[in-house]
């Protein structure tokens, strides 16, 4: 990485590596080959007891062995040169294992080998390297190799020694050059936490999450289309005794993102460079040095779930229930799992777990793989989409919900539950909830001469839905974003400081605590929701309908009752275009326009068109277009098309006049039928 990527502007820490050749030399000089063969002759892969005994004996052999003289001298000489370069007697280093099969595109070995951080001194370095070599026979690694049918005795490790990046004083994390849930390849997914990155892989905290859209990033746009604040309650810092220690993160820092926007964009650009260099999607670890403020790439390996395969099928799950979920979290795996709960708190309880049960635990680490592969589903308290539990469950094809916060407290051993991972937010229901699975072979769906556009409301299904044959989005409803993502009436955010209802203010503050400017919360959240849909179908047109809630629907939002009248027939009331120019609602419409402008001009998603709903007269249409222009959304500028819904009889009767001011019409058959026939 140092020689190849540094030339391309990617920062990589200095260091040196022991190749797999050095590993085989170590094995040969210590006559370990025959001894290991004898140990594995007695190995029973179906027995956890046998697994533990085999691993213990194999690791013991390596730890008792000595480094060949010349190899030891080369290691010490290289370490001394690195220390000299940084003008230190004993420079702090990270000692990282890398298996030859770890780089195989169908195997992740995520966090399964040992890594030792903040190591200084020759003796400590040699000890750490030997422990890395021994980790080739960790119980979890043996179980995983068995699962993947890899020969235990033909498997080799290399060890990388890198100058330690002082991320304990800043932040670190991982990134993938695709969306890890769907395999959508036009984004970079970045996870970030405070301190040393081991906390992410172990799933000890829920990280901040960023999605960056590659095509417009390459054109110079600031295309961070999603920003989710994590639950970063703890972090690892360096211990004066060597190694790491765990400390709490201050409340103030918990409410802030652990990376600035410009740093997110730098990492995303590097991710694209690395992906192009290796020619396939990558799983990358990065770190920020708190002393220098510099970012570094510390590891890159092939992504192992989606990169090796092409999307051939589209699966659609339909959960049939009116029940409310008892728990939610981050969904992993796009599947549904059912079974009896087994709460496991430590390795000593492994023998209690039975095949087909739902594994519920605070977090998993690589030692848990033997249980994970026989579970019907996995639920954890902590972790994000790139923690160990998420990576391995995705690869094993087991649905998982991570980062629930309190699964081990709420779920009880023996309970029957349904684990729904079919949306971005994972849901856990009590009992066996009925569901249907529809499976479509994408190669058998014919392309039609008629252009087919998709209707969509939920941003989290956009990436997956984009794999269906389509010609873009004919209707992107933003009401789902308002109800599920924002949840607060736009005017309650606009006039937040003036609100007198303390209960409503507390509710709003809880949701928007990381925003001082509540108006900006609305703009950012709406922009991100729209951008996810626009990015999924880019460069095809995505027609976004302006908000079309009726008064009774707006009242359901937090603070809605303060701004919405009670109407006997909201269908014919204060809705659509008539709202936008009304002085009472105009501030909310301006925020909506700012969100759309951000999507097009900041994120660069100029494939977004705008659709005006429920426009009763041509005069109304002109008023709305003037307001849009004033807000920076001018029809025709930078390719912006504005169309109108044809859902009122007047739209049909005055069609020619409407089409003189709009770029087209979209027929809303439900409302048009109802209003033409006078039905309620």
CATH number at 395 reads 3.50.30.10
Cα separation, 384 vs 191, whole angstroms? 8
Map 90-133 to HEC letters: CCCEEEEEEECHHHCCCCCCCCCCCEEEEECCHHHHHHHHHHHH
Which CATH number belongs to the domain containing residue 520 in this structure? 3.20.20.60
* Whether 100 and 185 share a structural domain: no
Q: pLDDT band for 111, please (50, 70, 90 cuts).
A: low
* Whether 151 and 201 share a structural domain: no
* Whether 184 and 130 share a structural domain: no
Average pLDDT, the chain: 90
Mean pLDDT of 111-117: 78
Q: Could you tell me if 330 and 401 are in contact, meaning their C-beta atoms sit under 8 angstroms apart?
A: yes
- Please check the confidence at residue 542 and state whether its pLDDT lies above 60: yes
Residue 46 is predicted with a pLDDT of 79
Give the CA count within 13 Å in the CB-facing half-sphere of 382.
19
- Torsion on CA atoms 509, 514, 518, 521, rounded to nearest 10: -120
Q: Looking at per-residue confidence, does 614 or 312 come out higher?
A: 614
Q: pLDDT band for 301, please (50, 70, 90 cuts).
A: confident
* Whether 208 and 346 share a structural domain: no
* Whether 124 and 248 share a structural domain: no
Q: Could you tell me if 400 and 379 are in contact, meaning their C-beta atoms sit under 8 angstroms apart?
A: yes
Give the residue from 393, 392, 358, 363 showing the smallest Cα distance to 376.
358
Q: Does any domain span residue 508? A: yes
**What residues have CB less than 8 Å from 359, skipping those under 6 apart?**
342, 344, 353, 368, 371, 372, 375, 377, 378, 379
DSSP 598: I
Which CATH number belongs to the domain containing residue 230 in this structure? 3.30.470.20
DSSP 415: -
* Whether 353 and 479 share a structural domain: no
Residue 156 is predicted with a pLDDT of 85
Residue 394 is predicted with a pLDDT of 82
Buried b (16+ CB within 10 A) or exposed e, 470-501: bebbbbbbbebbbeeebbbbbbbbbbbeebee
Residue 13 is predicted with a pLDDT of 92
Give the residue from 152, 141, 114, 118 showing the smallest Cα distance to 130.
114
Cα separation, 8 vs 400, whole angstroms? 38
Q: Does any domain span residue 135? A: yes
Specify whether the backbone of 639 is left (phi greater than 0), alpha (psi in -120 to 50) or beta: left
Mean pLDDT of 263-290: 95
Q: pLDDT band for 522, please (50, 70, 90 cuts).
A: very high
* Whether 159 and 171 share a structural domain: no
Cα separation, 233 vs 253, whole angstroms? 9
* Whether 138 and 89 share a structural domain: yes
Most confident of 94-103, 365-374, 483-492: 483-492
DSSP 528: H
Listed residues 139, 163, 187: the one ending a domain: 163
Map 429-455 to HEC letters: EECCCCEEEEEEEHHHCCCCCCCCCEE
User: The pTM is what?
Assistant: 0.84
Q: Could you tell me if 580 and 514 are in contact, meaning their C-beta atoms sit under 8 angstroms apart?
A: no
Q: pLDDT band for 449, please (50, 70, 90 cuts).
A: confident
DSSP 482: I
**What residues have CB less than 8 Å from 563, skipping those under 6 apart?**
489, 491, 492, 554, 584
Domain that residue 464 falls in: 446-677
- Please check the confidence at residue 382 and state whether its pLDDT lies above 90: no
Most confident of 273-282, 367-376, 433-442: 273-282
Cα separation, 350 vs 49, whole angstroms? 10
Which CATH number belongs to the domain containing residue 26 in this structure? 3.30.1490.20
Assigned token pair, 348: 């000593």
- Please check the confidence at residue 463 and state whether its pLDDT lies above 60: yes
Residue 569 is predicted with a pLDDT of 86
* Whether 413 and 451 share a structural domain: no
Q: Looking at per-residue confidence, does 386 or 545 come out higher?
A: 545
- Please check the confidence at residue 409 and state whether its pLDDT lies above 50: yes
Residue 587 is predicted with a pLDDT of 97
* Whether 24 and 119 share a structural domain: yes
The percent of residues in the chain predicted with pLDDT above 70, rounded, is: 96
Q: Does any domain span residue 308? A: no
Q: Does any domain span residue 4? A: no
Cα 438 to Cα 315, 316, 430: the distances in Å are 6, 5, 23
Residue 103 is predicted with a pLDDT of 45
**How many beta carbons lie within 10 A of that of residue 255, not counting itself?**
12
Residue 138 is predicted with a pLDDT of 86
- Please check the confidence at residue 25 and state whether its pLDDT lies above 70: yes
Total domains in the chain come to 4
**What residues have CB less than 8 Å from 617, skipping those under 6 apart?**
650, 654
Residue 52 is predicted with a pLDDT of 87
Give the torsion sign (CA, 549, 550, 551, 555): negative
Alpha helices in 233-349 (DSSP H): 251-254, 261-278
Most confident of 354-363, 559-568, 569-578, 607-616: 607-616
The percent of residues in the chain predicted with pLDDT above 90, rounded, is: 68
Give the residue from 132, 210, 176 showing the smallest Cα distance to 286.
176
Residue 170 is predicted with a pLDDT of 96
Listed residues 387, 410, 439: the one ending a domain: 439
Residue 311 is predicted with a pLDDT of 61
Q: pLDDT band for 305, please (50, 70, 90 cuts).
A: low
Listed residues 439, 456, 471: the one ending a domain: 439
104 bridge partner residues: none
Assigned token pair, 185: 């390849």
Give the residue from 167, 18, 11, 161 showing the smallest Cα distance to 82.
161
Q: Does any domain span residue 307? A: no
Mean pLDDT of 334-360: 89
Q: Does any domain span residue 193? A: yes
- Please check the confidence at residue 582 and state whether its pLDDT lies above 60: yes
- Per-residue pLDDT tens for 594-606? 999 999 999 999 9
* Whether 137 and 262 share a structural domain: no
Q: Does any domain span residue 192? A: yes
* Whether 363 and 387 share a structural domain: yes
- Please check the confidence at residue 309 and state whether its pLDDT lies above 60: no
Residue 393 is predicted with a pLDDT of 84
- Per-residue pLDDT tens for 183-222? 899 999 999 999 998 888 777 788 999 999 999 999 999 9
Cα separation, 158 vs 23, whole angstroms? 7
Q: Does any domain span residue 6? A: no
Buried b (16+ CB within 10 A) or exposed e, 259-268: beeebbbbbb
């Amino acid at each position: 990485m140092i020689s190849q990527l540094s030339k391309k502007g990617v920062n990589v820490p200095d260091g040196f590596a022991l190749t797999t050749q050095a590993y085989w030399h170590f094995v040969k000089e210590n006559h370990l080959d025959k001894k290991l063969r004898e140990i594995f002759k007695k190995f029973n892969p179906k027995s956890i007891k046998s697994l533990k005994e085999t691993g213990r004996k194999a690791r013991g052999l390596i730890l008792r062995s000595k480094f060949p003289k010349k190899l030891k001298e080369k290691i010490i000489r290289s370490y001394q040169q690195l220390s000299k370069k940084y003008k230190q007697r004993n420079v702090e280093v990270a000692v990282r294992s890398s298996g030859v099969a770890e780089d195989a595109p169908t195997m992740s070995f995520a966090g399964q080998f040992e890594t030792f951080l903040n190591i200084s001194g020759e003796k400590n370095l040699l000890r750490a390297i030997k422990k890395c070599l021994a980790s080739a026979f960790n119980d979890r690694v043996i179980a995983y190799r068995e699962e993947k049918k890899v020969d235990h005795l033909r498997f080799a490790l290399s060890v990388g020694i890198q100058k330690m990046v002082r991320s304990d004083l800043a932040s670190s994390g991982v990134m993938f050059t695709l969306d890890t849930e769907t395999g959508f390849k036009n984004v970079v997914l970045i996870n970030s936490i405070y301190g040393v990155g081991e906390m992410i892989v172990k799933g000890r905290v829920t990280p901040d999450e960023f999605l960056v859209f590659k095509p417009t990033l390459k054109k110079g746009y600031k295309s961070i289309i999603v920003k989710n604040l994590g639950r970063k309650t703890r972090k690892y810092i360096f211990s004066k005794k060597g190694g790491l220690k765990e400390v709490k993160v201050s409340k103030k820092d918990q409410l802030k993102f652990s990376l600035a926007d410009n740093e997110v964009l730098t990492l995303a650009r590097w991710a694209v460079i690395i992906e192009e260099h290796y020619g396939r999607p990558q799983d990358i670890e990065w770190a920020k040095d708190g002393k220098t403020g510099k970012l570094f790439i510390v590891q890159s390996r092939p992504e192992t779930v989606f990169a090796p395969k092409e999307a051939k099928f589209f699966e659609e799950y339909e959960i049939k229930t009116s029940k409310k979920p008892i728990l939610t979290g981050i969904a992993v795996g796009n599947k549904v799992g059912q079974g009896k709960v087994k709460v496991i708190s430590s390795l000593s309880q492994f023998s209690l777990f039975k095949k087909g049960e739902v594994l519920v635990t605070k977090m998993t680490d690589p030692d848990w793989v033997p249980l994970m592969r026989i579970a019907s589903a996995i639920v954890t308290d902590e972790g994000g989409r790139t923690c160990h539990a998420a990576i391995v469950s995705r690869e094993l094809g087991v649905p998982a919900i991570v980062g629930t916060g309190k699964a081990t407290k709420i779920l009880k051993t023996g309970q029957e539950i349904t684990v729904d991972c079919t949306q971005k937010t994972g849901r856990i229901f009590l009992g066996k909830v009925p569901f249907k699975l529809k499976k479509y072979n994408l190669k058998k769906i014919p392309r039609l001469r008629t252009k087919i556009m998709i209707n969509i409301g939920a941003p989290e299904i956009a990436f997956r839905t984009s794999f269906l044959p389509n010609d873009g989005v004919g209707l992107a409803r933003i009401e789902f974003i308002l109800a599920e993502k924002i949840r607060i009436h736009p005017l309650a955010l606009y006039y937040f400081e003036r609100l007198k209802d303390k209960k409503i203010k507390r509710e709003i503050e809880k949701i928007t605590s990381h925003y001082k400017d509540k108006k900006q919360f609305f703009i950012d959240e709406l922009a991100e929701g729209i951008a996810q849909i626009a990015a999924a179908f880019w460069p095809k047109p995505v027609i976004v309908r302006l908000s079309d809630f009726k008064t009774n629907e707006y009242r359901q939002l937090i603070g809605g009752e303060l701004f919405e009248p009670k109407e006997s027939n909201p269908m014919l009331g204060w809705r659509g275009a008539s709202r936008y120019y009304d002085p009472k609602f105009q501030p909310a419409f301006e925020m909506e326009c700012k969100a759309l402008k951000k999507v097009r001009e900041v994120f660069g998603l100029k494939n977004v068109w705008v659709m005006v709903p429920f426009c009763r007269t041509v005069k109304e249409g002109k008023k709305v277009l003037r307001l849009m222009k004033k807000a920076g959304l001018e029809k025709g500028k930078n390719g912006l098309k504005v169309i109108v819904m044809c859902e009122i009889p007047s739209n049909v009767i005055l069609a020619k006049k409407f089409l003189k001011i709009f770029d087209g019409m979209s027929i809303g058959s439900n409302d048009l039928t109802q209003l033409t026939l006078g039905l309620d």
